[in-house]
Amino acid sequence: MITIDHSQFKGRDFISLHDFTQNELKCFLDVAAELKKEQKAGRPHPILQGKTLGMIFTKSSTRTRVSFEVGIYQLGGQGLFLSGRDIQLGRGETIADTARVLSRMVDGIMIRTFSHQEVLDLAQYATIPIINGLTDMLHPCQVLADLMTIQEHKGRLAGLKLAYIGDGNNMAHSLMFGGAKMGLQVVIASPQGYKPDPALVALAQEDAKANGGSVDILDDPLEAVKGADVLYTDVWASMGQEAEAGERMKAFQGYQINAESLKLAHPSAIVLHCLPAHRGEEITEEVIEGAHSVVFDEAENRLHAQKAIMALVM
């Protein structure tokens, strides 16, 4: 059976990529690649035999739910799906009480929710690892899978240019952190009023300076994609922003990955999207189904990247 040295990670939370060094993120990626190899070869790897992951969802999901539940099963453990409707957290029990109770019954908690503060509070009171499955501020699990996908297709991370076109949301924030830590040149193009959080941009730029990368925020999407090795986008209106959809549709006109974007990018550029995609809005059907798209490799890698997180921290 595969053996993993988890000594530097055991018991740690996985909340933001900003919390880890470049070498630590490389370790997550190496373990993810090894676990993917084992799974593809049909070799069992019950590293977390007998362990249980509590999975709190106050925000619905396809990829997060399936990848964590299948992942903990493939690692020899079991996952408990806990929706906001099913547990007392949804009826007024405090995060602190939930954290302390679950810490005595399960071995790790993954939470996917709206408020980032909820994840921080859970981590403060829990005595077991907390994994951030998504908040309105950050999506670190997705970006670990993104980095894995880029490395698989490009053979490296450092020095590549990644252009993200669209809302300066949780995806933009985590791409800045992950790209900065791994030495990428990250360019974010968003319209006025939808830029990434300036405080997080400043943190990411510090990370980039220390790791040989860069983080730049632009207005012009066509300028951003020039020579890019990786093109990335996300929906214009995320879950919880449905009331703003019409206003956002107007604001994001021109912020689309399409054939024109690809012509300006590097000839061997790859295209990523965290899904779900609204085809014809932030990305065209032609591009997401085209030869440059690695979107479904990226979606699969959510499974392998998250197995690495669980294997190391749990």
Q: Say whether 5 is catalytic.
A: no
From the candidates 18, 116, 302, 304, give the one annotated as an active-site residue: 302
- In the residue annotation, 274 being an active-site residue is answered as yes
With a CB cutoff of 8 Å and minimum separation 6, the contacts of 170 are 134, 135, 136, 137, 138, 139, 238
pTM (two decimals): 0.96
Domain-wise residue ranges, the chain: 17-138+302-313, 142-299
Task: Report the pLDDT value the prediction gives residue 283, as an integer from 0 to 100.
Answer: 98
Q: Is 306 an annotated catalytic residue?
A: no
CA distances from 98 to 60, 79, 91, 102, 135 (A): 20, 17, 11, 6, 18
Whether omega before 221 lies within 30 degrees of 0, making that bond cis, reads no
Q: Given this structure, which CATH class describes domain 17-138+302-313?
A: alpha beta
Cite the annotated binding site for carbamoyl phosphate by residue number.
61-64, 88, 112, 139-142, 274-275, 302
Establish whether domains 17-138+302-313 and 142-299 are of one fold: yes
- Assess whether 142 carries a catalytic annotation: yes
pLDDT tens-digit profile, the chain (314 residues): 788 888 999 999 999 999 999 999 999 999 999 999 999 999 999 999 999 999 999 988 999 999 999 999 999 999 999 987 778 775 788 899 999 999 999 999 999 999 999 999 999 999 999 999 999 999 999 999 999 999 999 999 999 999 999 999 999 999 999 999 999 999 999 999 999 999 999 999 999 999 999 999 999 999 999 999 999 999 998 767 777 878 999 999 999 999 999 999 999 999 999 999 999 999 999 999 999 999 999 999 999 999 999 999 99
Residue of 116, 139, 248, 304 with catalytic role: 139
Pick the catalytic residue from 151, 173, 248, 274: 274
Contact 231, 153 (CB under 8 A): no
CATH architecture, domain 142-299: 3-Layer(aba) Sandwich (3.40)
Which residue out of 234, 256, 292, 304 is catalytically annotated? 234
